[in-house]
Chains A and B, each alone.
Chain A
């Protein structure tokens, strides 16, 4: 596409580099959504529209694609994303009990953000750390072998 006057500054300017990794602009959509999520915090309509405009894609298409993937957040989130696995391997090692701990301590329910805006909680399917379950991701950090005590200890290191 030779569209003159494409903006290269402003939000998501970094996408110009990412676009070079793919032969089509559409293919840059997922990395663009990751970038937008980092930049905007979550994928608001504003963020989605910015991605659409950067990649010359229809807005509805961008929203549809984003909504397919569970890690793209369609609503505002807390400062730290807590993603806890409750799939079979972690479940049999007690993951569900941890949800109760989080609810009690931080008022966190799955799919929700704590009232103080500190944590958002998402119940994950397997996160590939089954040998050391129960496990969770906080932002990009993997924490394993969680127990009621350890999960609190870990989360307290995130302000």
Chain B
């Protein structure tokens, strides 16, 4: 206990914090400029000087810790004079461009000058001049206005971990620049903009088009790009988003954002947005009224149901739809149309990966708090780059590295190249990560004793151990030095808590099962929180809301009749007990057993491998309904298109990768009908009663029927969201057979999705293939094709690139920027080559974001037999310079 006085007031504190913290906790404001709670202490601006009795000099409140008996005075004449003096020092070289500065109204320097009074201009020499730098597409830098608080630099270095900017020169000549001195070559998180107290670094988007005080509203909502579920503030004027920001303390992201989240919002205002329903007449999509379109779609679907049965109809959902929409979607398909042919993009990896882990550890096995990552003693990142796919989660890995934790990457993880302790990466290709994980597990088992906590699991691991490849074998097959694997294991020997982050790549593999069980075994032995990368904001919701052929909402297995009966009762309709077709099966059956598809917020014609075949298949359908915000490739083939509203225009909930349910809030009123209403309306036409007035009503129904959501209400979701386990009952996988008495458990033998652990045998070392391999690239600044409708993101990365390392480039006679033709047995595309050092020599990276040159023109697939996950293949890869 520390007792002190501030301005004569007695203040008691549990722990010795800084004077600033002590004052703020007690409602006493001390002005600051360089201080920011998220950043390393600096103590440079000197604004927070206060008087402390018995100390001759004024003290900086932001750095000095309180001590028992201290007497602090925060606004004495001496303090005020010092602050005025500091402000005068700032202003002698400040350009005073407030009338034309976008920061005016939000500027800390301006506010403090108002508070302490302007000073007469006693400085008569020329002011320091730096030219404004506008050559970057999204960030404007004006160093005349900079007050050298270095918050941007400390953000970029100490939080973002990108270290893309630095203070150049020293003294009065100090200024902040990226390496180039001009354009930024950075991750474009824009977190520097958030912390700049003045107008020195600002967004170029909507520059000079508004004044901060002219904003009509600021709406806190959730980002629409990935599964982290960052909290955003949408600043709105004239029914258009003028700025996206986040403040310290906001959401899982604690005020941090990535480039997609901060600068990618412009798609909402894209003139290409669909505005009216469309019906295909004589091969052309023509405008229709809502009534026409809804009636026509319902009529055709019911006709097909009548002639071919519900099994002739299928539904595919995307990961940007809300829980309420997905729930209604699967209800419409199951109860209205009598089909279980329901699946989503979660099939591409997250769903099967999660189910295997849950088979081992129970439901919610991968529901862990992102904020816990830096507190783990070690972080293992496997096969995916969280800094690109879930950037704000990636920051926590970097934070762990800064805190001195061990960070180990397995496979190619570019974004942690300066943060990792060990890099286990050599060849590219199927099975490489499997081998390395197996080798690491074997070495760990040699040095790290098992705890005995889960004897069944340990038996299985011990059985397995005998077949694991030794480090030498791994070195031979995967090219990672045996000594490095042993050294990594030795480094992990003492670890008592850790985090493992793995992505879709592990599941999208013929070794999926082995991969996930290896991950589980590593997770067990290292006492890990496991995180599965989720590339869409509500991919988790797709799983929880029953958007899969064998699961009902609440992740209850369809095959268990007691679960089914509950839903049948609630929905007033029978449910087919047979599991439906999975995503790729539906496509493969299009035109055969599948006659009609309803696609909600997804673009299978572009976003699935073997794109040529997918398009052909979709073309064979009798009827295709698409609900989307843009005229996607799939929408262009549809018989009916419903224009959807986008994330900023509707209410609802998203569930992030931690299984945290968060509220999406309507920030703008746009012409159109909210997606849930479209689904409710079409359901009504298929005979489903729809008594929903709003999303809260839908959520209430979910809480009534889904055991894991039981007891929740839309209104009860506070800021920060609802965390797993929600109030309801998780499903327990148990070794005993399912009985009616255990309504929330299911035996793994009877109903576990992928069978018992014991069946997971090590299948032997996959052999690395020689030659160049095609790798699906996932750029930091794009997400599907959605981001290509955002001007700023297109300015930063405007077209497809084939990335390869300079060595491979020179072997192939390809220089940076060359136009190349890339072909496989699936097809070919032309695009620009980008040579980047640090890439594996045997890999060619192409993303699937840009129409006309998506990687899925080149990738074929094979179905993993158990999960029916499409595993990408690329035969006969050729790269030629054009």
Q: Which of A36-67 contact B (CB under 8 A)?
A: 45, 48-49, 53, 56-61, 63-65, 67
Which residues of B lie under 8 Å from residue A53 when comparing CB positions? 837
CB distance from A58 to the nearest CB of B (A): 4
Which residues of B lie under 8 Å from residue A3 when comparing CB positions? 417, 423
The answer to the question of B691 belonging to the interface, with a C-beta cut-off of 8 Å to chain A, is: no
Q: How many residues of A contact B (CB 8 A)?
A: 19
Which residues of B lie under 8 Å from residue A4 when comparing CB positions? 423, 426, 481, 484
The answer to the question of B422 belonging to the interface, with a C-beta cut-off of 8 Å to chain A, is: yes
Task: Choose from A48, A59, A68 the contact partner of B170 (Cβ within 8 Å).
Answer: A68
Which residues of B lie under 8 Å from residue A45 when comparing CB positions? 179-180
Bound-complex Cα distance A49 to B420 (A): 21
Which residues of B lie under 8 Å from residue A64 when comparing CB positions? 153, 166-168
B178 touches A60 (CB 8 A): yes
The answer to the question of B226 belonging to the interface, with a C-beta cut-off of 8 Å to chain A, is: no
| Chain B: interface size category | 20 to 34
The answer to the question of B157 belonging to the interface, with a C-beta cut-off of 8 Å to chain A, is: yes
B166 touches A60 (CB 8 A): yes
B484 touches A60 (CB 8 A): no
Which residues of B lie under 8 Å from residue A67 when comparing CB positions? 167-170
Bound-complex Cα distance A48 to B166 (A): 13
A63 touches B418 (CB 8 A): no
CB distance from A61 to the nearest CB of B (A): 5
Please name the residue on chain A nearest to B163 by beta carbon.
A58
Q: Which of B137-187 contact A (CB under 8 A)?
A: 153, 157, 162-170, 177-180
CB distance from A152 to the nearest CB of B (A): 32
Which residues of A lie under 8 Å from residue B165 when comparing CB positions? 60
Q: Per-residue 0/1 for A84-101: is the Cβ within 8 Å of any B Cβ (1 yes, 0 no)?
A: 000000000000000000
The answer to the question of B421 belonging to the interface, with a C-beta cut-off of 8 Å to chain A, is: yes
The answer to the question of B487 belonging to the interface, with a C-beta cut-off of 8 Å to chain A, is: yes
A68 touches B169 (CB 8 A): yes
The answer to the question of A1 belonging to the interface, with a C-beta cut-off of 8 Å to chain B, is: yes
Task: Choose from B163, B481, B487 the contact partner of A60 (Cβ within 8 Å).
Answer: B163
B164 touches A58 (CB 8 A): yes
Please name the residue on chain A nearest to B837 by beta carbon.
A53
Given known A4-B481, A67-B170, A68-B169, contact A59–B423 (CB-CB < 8 A): no
The answer to the question of A2 belonging to the interface, with a C-beta cut-off of 8 Å to chain B, is: yes
Bound-complex Cα distance A65 to B418 (A): 18
Bound-complex Cα distance A59 to B163 (A): 8
Question: Which 6 residue pairs across A and B have the least CB separation, nearest first?
Answer: A64-B166, A58-B163, A59-B179, A60-B166, A60-B179, A67-B168
Which residues of B lie under 8 Å from residue A57 when comparing CB positions? 418
Bound-complex Cα distance A45 to B420 (A): 26
A58 touches B162 (CB 8 A): yes
A61 touches B423 (CB 8 A): no
Given known A2-B423, A4-B484, A45-B179, contact A58–B418 (CB-CB < 8 A): yes
Which residues of A lie under 8 Å from residue B481 when comparing CB positions? 4
CB distance from B608 to the nearest CB of A (A): 36
Bound-complex Cα distance A48 to B422 (A): 26
**Could you list 10 A-B pairs, sorted by A, with CB under 8 Å?**
A2-B423, A4-B423, A56-B417, A59-B179, A60-B177, A63-B177, A64-B167, A64-B168, A67-B170, A68-B170
Which residues of B lie under 8 Å from residue A48 when comparing CB positions? 179
CB distance from A48 to the nearest CB of B (A): 8
Bound-complex Cα distance A53 to B423 (A): 17
Q: Per-residue 0/1 for B719-731: is the Cβ within 8 Å of any A Cβ (1 yes, 0 no)?
A: 0000000000000
Bound-complex Cα distance A49 to B181 (A): 13
CB distance from A130 to the nearest CB of B (A): 23
Which residues of B lie under 8 Å from residue A63 when comparing CB positions? 166, 168, 177, 179
A2 touches B422 (CB 8 A): yes
Bound-complex Cα distance A53 to B418 (A): 11
Interface secondary structure of A, over-half rule: helix
Bound-complex Cα distance A115 to B249 (A): 58
Which residues of A lie under 8 Å from residue B423 when comparing CB positions? 2-4
Q: Which of B246-266 contact A (CB under 8 A)?
A: none
Q: Which of B163, B166, B421 has the most CB of A within 10 A?
A: B166
A61 touches B487 (CB 8 A): no
Please name the residue on chain B nearest to A3 by beta carbon.
B423
Which residues of A lie under 8 Å from residue B426 when comparing CB positions? 4
Which residues of B lie under 8 Å from residue A59 when comparing CB positions? 179
Task: Choose from B153, B162, B169, B421 the contact partner of A1 (Cβ within 8 Å).
Answer: B421
CB distance from A53 to the nearest CB of B (A): 8
Q: Which of A65-82 contact B (CB under 8 A)?
A: 65, 67-68
B164 touches A2 (CB 8 A): no
CB distance from A49 to the nearest CB of B (A): 8
Which residues of A lie under 8 Å from residue B177 when comparing CB positions? 60, 63
Q: Which of B444-485 contact A (CB under 8 A)?
A: 481, 484
Which residues of B lie under 8 Å from residue A1 when comparing CB positions? 420-421
Bound-complex Cα distance A60 to B156 (A): 11
Please name the residue on chain B nearest to A69 by beta carbon.
B170
Which residues of B lie under 8 Å from residue A68 when comparing CB positions? 167, 169-170
Q: Which of B14-50 contact A (CB under 8 A)?
A: none
CB distance from B274 to the nearest CB of A (A): 42
Which residues of A lie under 8 Å from residue B487 when comparing CB positions? 2
Please name the residue on chain A nearest to B841 by beta carbon.
A5
Q: Which of B588-644 contact A (CB under 8 A)?
A: none
Q: Which of B406-429 contact A (CB under 8 A)?
A: 417-418, 420-423, 426
Bound-complex Cα distance A56 to B420 (A): 11
Please name the residue on chain B nearest to A49 by beta carbon.
B179
Bound-complex Cα distance A43 to B434 (A): 44
Q: Which of A1-56 contact B (CB under 8 A)?
A: 1-4, 45, 48-49, 53, 56
CB distance from B557 to the nearest CB of A (A): 45
Please name the residue on chain A nearest to B161 by beta carbon.
A58
Q: Per-residue 0/1 for B833-856: is the Cβ within 8 Å of any A Cβ (1 yes, 0 no)?
A: 000010000000000000000000
A56 touches B418 (CB 8 A): yes
CB distance from B314 to the nearest CB of A (A): 47
Bound-complex Cα distance A4 to B153 (A): 30
CB distance from B3 to the nearest CB of A (A): 42
Bound-complex Cα distance A12 to B166 (A): 23
CB distance from B696 to the nearest CB of A (A): 48
Which residues of A lie under 8 Å from residue B163 when comparing CB positions? 58, 60-61
Please name the residue on chain A nearest to B178 by beta carbon.
A60
A61 touches B166 (CB 8 A): yes
Bound-complex Cα distance A2 to B153 (A): 27
Please name the residue on chain A nearest to B165 by beta carbon.
A60
Bound-complex Cα distance A65 to B168 (A): 8
CB distance from B293 to the nearest CB of A (A): 53
Bound-complex Cα distance A2 to B178 (A): 27
Known: A2-B422, A64-B166, A64-B168. 13 other contacts (CB 8 A): A1-B420, A2-B484, A3-B417, A4-B423, A45-B179, A45-B180, A48-B179, A49-B179, A58-B163, A58-B164, A58-B418, A63-B179, A68-B167
Which residues of A lie under 8 Å from residue B180 when comparing CB positions? 45
Please name the residue on chain B nearest to A64 by beta carbon.
B166
CB distance from B877 to the nearest CB of A (A): 23
Which residues of B lie under 8 Å from residue A49 when comparing CB positions? 179
Please name the residue on chain A nearest to B481 by beta carbon.
A4
Bound-complex Cα distance A111 to B169 (A): 14
Bound-complex Cα distance A63 to B167 (A): 9
Bound-complex Cα distance A49 to B481 (A): 28
Q: Which of A45, A53, A61 has the most CB of B within 10 A?
A: A61
Given known A67-B168, A67-B169, contact A61–B157 (CB-CB < 8 A): yes
Which residues of A lie under 8 Å from residue B422 when comparing CB positions? 2
CB distance from B263 to the nearest CB of A (A): 20
Bound-complex Cα distance A83 to B455 (A): 74
Bound-complex Cα distance A58 to B169 (A): 17
Q: Which of B389-446 contact A (CB under 8 A)?
A: 417-418, 420-423, 426
Bound-complex Cα distance A60 to B178 (A): 6
Bound-complex Cα distance A49 to B165 (A): 14
Bound-complex Cα distance A48 to B418 (A): 17
Bound-complex Cα distance A67 to B176 (A): 11
Q: Which of B171-209 contact A (CB under 8 A)?
A: 177-180
Q: Per-residue 0/1 for B729-762: is the Cβ within 8 Å of any A Cβ (1 yes, 0 no)?
A: 0000000000000000000000000000000000
